[in-house]
Amino acid sequence: MIIEHKTVIADVKLVADFQRYISYWRKRFTEQPITDFCSVIRINSTAPFEEQDNYFLLCDVLPEDRILREELQKQRLKEILEQQQQERNDNSFQGSCMFCNEEFLGNRSVLLNHMAREHTFNIGLPDNIVNCNEFLCTLQKKLDNLQCLYCEKTFRDKNTLKDHMRKKQHRRINPKNREYDRFYVINYLELGKSWEEVQLEDDRELLDHQEDDWSDWEEHPLSAVCLFCEKQAETIEKLCVHMEDAHEFDLLKIKSELGLNFYEQVKLVNFIRRQIHQCRCYGCHEKFKSKADLRTHMEEAKHTSLLPERQTWDQPQYYFPTYENDTLLCTLSDSESDLTAQEQNGNIAIISEDTSKLHALKQSSILNQLLLHESLKN
């Protein structure tokens, strides 16, 4: 159009449906002269008249063009919302995890929530995403090409890429890559505005109202996840009741019978989390193909309450959580209200460490075991 017809369309990237836009103006140009709609730009104005050229600029300064662009944007938003609603209600989705290859059937949110929870890979809430299949295929193709999704560097093999994304915390997408914009509904909301501009306006609005009364603010409590299934509860009491009723696993009873302090509870929880994550029964050490098969086996064989010997799980490596931000660990307690009757009677002697022999204390420190474990692992 520029070369053959000397016609320039301003802000082409902001036209929601370019084909319909062109069809509209093709018809209008047959009805009236092009100069009725376009601004005329004369180039080489200082040259002789025969060497001067006129170009025609079609832009949204013209009210008709502006209205057309807005109507196309509204129609595009309507189509996107219909597509999103269809995906939200679709229970025939089928896909596999990009990190562990576990297969998922049903709603797309199952896979997205799995990757966020198990692999800390969060691309946003399922309800904010559209054309989810195409989005996942785009990300999978990048991983297949050994490309990091965040920094977009390419690596020599898959293991190196996985280590890089884990250590650098690059299990997320690059927010500056405009290739992903079409997969988020927010980018279709307003004509010519990306998610960054919309969010910036929201931030400005918050700053303008920062003097407002926040007395009615209600903080949503964090939920702890069951050790054996996806059930969540807002308190440790409710979660323990669920685990006892559904899985015959009484965490409070185990804590009391074994006399576990806070750190021993942490190690036990992290041990169980890791075994379940690896689909391995800690009662008989049998490994299964899926967590559902493992859960069925453990419940039928009554292995949920069959803990291994203490030395198996009471290891320094289980100080570290299997999942990041495991809320259950934050709800554990060894406060006075949880002590046994014997402890409440004061029959437990508390002996302070002898800091006069600091060198010997350093030699027996638990940190030495951790360093040795990491060295052997490396």
Q: Is residue 84 part of a domain?
A: no
The answer on 189 and 104 residing in a single domain is yes
Same-domain status, 99 and 65? no
Parallel, antiparallel or unpaired: strands 39-43 and 53-58: antiparallel
Domain co-membership, 195 together with 259: no
Tens digits of residue pLDDT in 138-154:
999 999 999 999 999 99
- pLDDT of 122: 83
Which pLDDT belongs to residue 7? 92
Q: Does residue 113 share a domain with residue 70?
A: no
**0.85 exceeded by the pTM?**
no
Other CB atoms within 10 A of residue 149 CB: 21
> Of 79, 111, 132, which residue is a domain's last?
79
Same domain, 106 and 33: no
List pLDDT tens digits, range 293-327: 998 999 888 888 889 998 889 888 888 887 777 88
Which residues constitute the domain of residue 309?
Answer: 224-330
Listed residues 288, 313, 330: the one ending a domain: 330
Burial (CB < 10 A; 0-12, 13-18, 19+), residue 19, is: exposed
- Give pLDDT, residue 169: 86
CB-based burial of residue 46 (10 Å sphere; 0-12 exposed, 13-18 middle, 19+ buried)? exposed
99 shares a domain with 183? yes
Residue 291 maps to a domain: yes
Instruction: Say if 338 falls within a structural domain.
Output: no
The CA-atom distances, in angstroms, between 126 and each of 64, 85, 87, 115, 131 are 37, 11, 9, 12, 11
Shared domain for 127 and 38, answered yes or no, is no
Residues 230, 319 within the same domain:
yes
**Cβ pair 75, 68 in contact under 8 A:** no
Domain count across the chain: 3
Residue 57 lies in a domain: yes
201, 236, 269 - which closes a domain: 201
pLDDT of residue 344: 44
Token pair 């008249």: residue: 49
Note the pLDDT of residue 23. 96
What is the mean pLDDT for each group of 10 consecutive residues in the chain (378 residues)? 90 89 95 92 74 86 92 91 91 90 90 89 85 93 93 92 88 89 84 63 57 57 80 84 90 88 89 91 90 89 89 86 80 56 44 55 62 65
